Chains A and B, each alone.
Chain A
Amino acid sequence: MTALLETRGLEVFYGDFQAVFGVDFEVAEGETVAIIGANGAGKSSFLKALAGLVKSRPDGILLDGRPVGGKPAYEIVKSGVALVPEGRRLFPSMSVADNLRMGENGRSGDRGWTYETVCDLFPILRERADQLAPTLSGGQQQMVAIGRALISNPRVLLCDEISLGLSPAAVKDVYAAITEIKKRGTTIVIVEQDLNAALGAADRIYCFLEGKVSLTGRADEFDRSQILAAYFGS
C-alpha cells in the first residue's frame, strides 16, 4: 500500500502545550480512515495540522511523498487536502451559493466536483441556494460545509466531527453522502466521536488517547471491548 498522505512522528503544539505526540499515520489513495477518540485526545489538533491551520515540521507531513508540513492552509488546500472544519464554520453573512462558490478558490485539479455536481449530491442546497447559510438546519449546514470542501476537488477530504450536534436522521444523511463521495474515489479521513458512524464508514481506524495512537488497524478486526479500552485508556 502506497500512502497518499502520511505523517512521521507528527507533533502539534499550542505555545508550550503539546496536543499531539509523535504520531505516525498514513492513508492510501481511495481509502477511508477514521480517527476516533474521546474529547481532548488530540484528534482535531492532528487534523488541523494536516490542513495547515496549525504549524508542524516540514517533514512531519508528506503528500505523495513530498513534505507539506508547515505550509499555510491556503497552500495546502491547493495541493489537494481540504478540511471540513468542526462546527461547520460557514460564512454567516453569505448565501448557501456563495459559501459553496468560495470552495472554487482552492481548486487543486479537476476530479469532477463543481457547483452543479455538489448540488446533485445535495439537491436541497440547490433549492436553498439564495438563503443565508445560518438559516439552514444543522444537517443542511453540514452539507454546505462538505460541498464547499468538495468543490476544491481535493485528493484527500478531511472531515472533523461531521456528526456533532446533528439529529440521528441528519447523521444518516451526512454519512450516506460520505459513502457516495468515497465511491467516486476521494480519499477520506474522518475524525469522529460517534463510534458507530465512524466504524460504519471506515476501512481502517486510528484510535487516539492523550495525543498518541493507542490502537490502529482494520475497522473489522477489533471487537467492541478492544476499541473501548483504547478509546478510554482502561
Chain B
Amino acid sequence: MDYLNTIVQGVLLGGLYALYAAGLSLIFGVMRLINLAHGDLIVLAAFVLLAMVSALGLPLPVALLILLPFAFALGWGLQRFLLNRTLGDDILLPLLVTFGLQILIQNGLLVAFSADSRKLSLGALETQSVNLLGLSVGLVPLITFAVAVVVLGALSYIFYGTGLGRRLRATSDSTEVVQLMGVNPRVIFAIAMGISFVVLTIAAFFMGVRSNFDPSVGPARLLYAFEAVVIGGLGSLWGTLAGGIILGVAQAIGARINPEWQILAGHLVFLVFIIVRPRGLFPKQ
C-alpha cells in the first residue's frame, strides 16, 4: 500500500511537470525553438501572482484569471518584437537570446523581491484531501493533475480541431510553404508564444501553491520541463503528460527509498531514456 501511495503521489506530481513542459513542447513543436528562459518565466509569473495578491488583495484564483490575458499579450509581444528577429538559419542566436533573458529575469527578481523564499496560498484547500483507492490524496495535487489534463486537452483541441491549429501545424511542417497559403509564420509564432505564456502562468500558479519558490529556482523548473518533453517525445503534447508522470513517479520512488535520491532518481530515468529511446515515447514524425 505504501508503494501504491508513492506511485499515486508520483503520478500527481507528473501533472505539475506536464504543466511545466506543455508550453516548452508547444514552442519547440511549432518553431523548433528551445526557450531557455521558460523556467524563469514560470517563476516570474509566480512572483507577479504574489504581487497581485499582496498589493491588490485579490484572491489567488482571481489574480490568475486576470493575469492570463496579459500573459498572452506579453508572450505575443516577446516573440513579435524580440525572438522573431533572431529566427533564421542559425539556431544558436535564439538560444543565446533566451539565455540572456533568463539572466535578466533572475537578476530582476532578485532586485525586486530579494532572495527570500516565497509561497502562494490557497488557504484551507491546501490541507484538504480526498479518499482515492483507499489512499488519502491531497486535493491540490489532484486539482493540479486535473488541470494539466484539461490544459493538454484544450491545446490538443486547438491543434487538431480549429483553423488556428491547422495553421500552427502547417507552420511547424514548413515555414516556406505556409506562406504560399497566405499565412505569415511570424504571426503564428507570436500566437504560439502567447499560448505558451498562458500555460506557463497556470503552471506558475500550481508551482507557487505546492512549493516554495525564490528567484533562483527557474533553471530547475526548466530542467524538469525539458526532461518531461524529451521522455514524452519532442513536440508531442500528450507525450509531455506521459513524460511528466514517468519523471514524477521516478522521483517519488527515489524519495521513498531515500529522501536524498528524489531528484537524482528523476535524472537517472531521463538518462536511461536518452540512451535507450532518444526520440522519446511519442516522437513527432
B187 to A, closest residue via Cβ: A74
**Which of B166, B176, B180, B184 touches A98 (beta carbons < 8 Å)?**
B166
Q: How far is the CB of A151 from chain B (nearest CB, A)?
A: 9
Chain B residues 169-204 with CB under 8 Å of chain A are 169-170, 172-174, 176-184
Complex contact B285–A102 (CB within 8 A)? no
A73 to B180, CA, bound (A): 6
**Structural contact, A78 and B166, CB atoms closer than 8 A:** no
C-alpha spacing A86/B58, complex, angstroms = 58
Does the CB pair B183–A93 fall under 8 Å? no
Q: Indicate which residue in A53, A98, A148, A149 contacts B179 across the interface (CB closer than 8 Å).
A: A53
Interface size bracket, B side: 10 to 19
**Inter-chain contacts of A98 with B (CB < 8 A):** 166, 169-170
A98 to B164, CA, bound (A): 12
- Given A53, A93, A102, which contacts B181 in the complex, CB threshold below 8 Å? A102
Is A94 a contact of B182 with CB atoms below 8 Å?
A: no
- A72:B170 contact, CB within 8 angstroms: no
Instruction: Let me know if A21 is at the binding interface, CB within 8 A.
Output: no
Min CB distance, A170 to chain B, in Å? Answer: 21
The 0/1 profile, CB within 8 Å of B marked 1, for residues 80-100 of chain A is 001101000101111000100
Docked complex: B230-285 residues within 8 A CB-CB of A: 284-285
Given that A93-B285, A94-B166 are contacting pairs, would A74 and B183 also be in contact in the complex, using a CB cutoff of 8 Å?
yes
* Chain B residue, CB-CB nearest to A133: B173
A101 at the interface (CB under 8 A from B): yes
**Smallest CB–CB gap between A206 and chain B, Å?**
22
Contact B180 A93 (CB under 8 A): no
Residue A131 is within 8 A (CB to CB) of chain B in the complex: no
Contacts of B176 in A (CB 8 A): 53, 73, 89
Q: Hey, which chain B residues are within 8 Å of A89, CB to CB?
A: 174, 176-177
Query: Chain A interface residue count: which class?
Result: 20 to 34
Q: Are A91 and B169 closer than 8 Å at their CB atoms?
A: yes
Contact: A77 with B182, CB < 8 Å?
Answer: yes
By beta carbon, the residue of chain A nearest B179 is A73
Say what secondary structure dominates the interface of chain B.
Answer: helix
Query: Contact check: which of A73, A78, A93 meets B169 at CB < 8 Å?
Result: A93
User: In the complex, how many residue pairs between chain A and chain B have their CB atoms under 8 Å apart?
Assistant: 72
B165 CB, min distance to chain A CBs, angstroms:
9
Among A72, A92, A102: residue with most chain B CB under 10 A: A102
Contact mask A89-127 → B, CB, 8 Å, 1/0? 101111000100111011100000000000000000000
Judged by a CB distance under 8 angstroms, whether A51 is at the interface is: yes
Contact A103 B181 (CB under 8 A): yes
Which residue on B lies nearest to A148, using beta carbons? B181
Say if the beta carbon of A152 comes within 8 Å of chain B: yes
Contact B172 A106 (CB under 8 A): no
Interface centre among B163, B170, B176 (most CB of A within 10 A): B170
Which of chain A's residues have a CB closer than 8 A to the CB of B179?
52-53, 72-74, 77
Q: Digitize A6-31: 1 where CB-to-B-CB distance is under 8 Å, 0 elsewhere.
A: 00000000000000000000000000
B residues near A152, Cβ cutoff 8 Å: 181-182
Q: List the B residue with the shortest CB-CB distance to A107.
A: B182
Known contacts being A74-B184, A77-B182, A107-B182, is A94 close to B170, with CB within 8 Å? Answer: yes
Instruction: Give A99's nearest chain B residue, CB to CB.
Output: B170
| Docked pose: A78 CA to B166 CA in angstroms | 18
Please tell me if the beta carbons of B170 and A102 are within 8 angstroms of each other in the complex: yes
Chain A residues with CB below 8 A from B177, complex form: 85, 89, 91
User: Are the C-beta atoms of B166 and A102 separated by less than 8 Å?
Assistant: yes
A-B contact pairs, 23 of them (CB 8 A): A53-B179, A74-B180, A77-B182, A83-B180, A89-B176, A91-B170, A91-B177, A92-B285, A93-B172, A93-B285, A94-B173, A101-B166, A102-B167, A102-B170, A102-B181, A102-B183, A105-B183, A106-B180, A106-B181, A106-B182, A106-B183, A148-B181, A149-B180
- Further pairs besides A102-B178, A105-B167, A105-B182: 12, Cβ < 8 Å: A73-B179, A74-B181, A82-B180, A83-B180, A89-B177, A91-B177, A93-B172, A98-B169, A98-B170, A105-B181, A106-B180, A106-B181
Interface pairs A-B: 8 shortest CB-CB: A106-B182, A73-B179, A91-B173, A105-B182, A74-B179, A102-B181, A89-B177, A77-B182
Which A residues are closer than 8 A to B by beta carbons?
51-53, 72-74, 77-78, 82-83, 85, 89, 91-94, 98, 101-103, 105-107, 148-149, 152
Residues of B at the A interface (CB closer than 8 Å) are: 163, 166-167, 169-170, 172-174, 176-184, 284-285
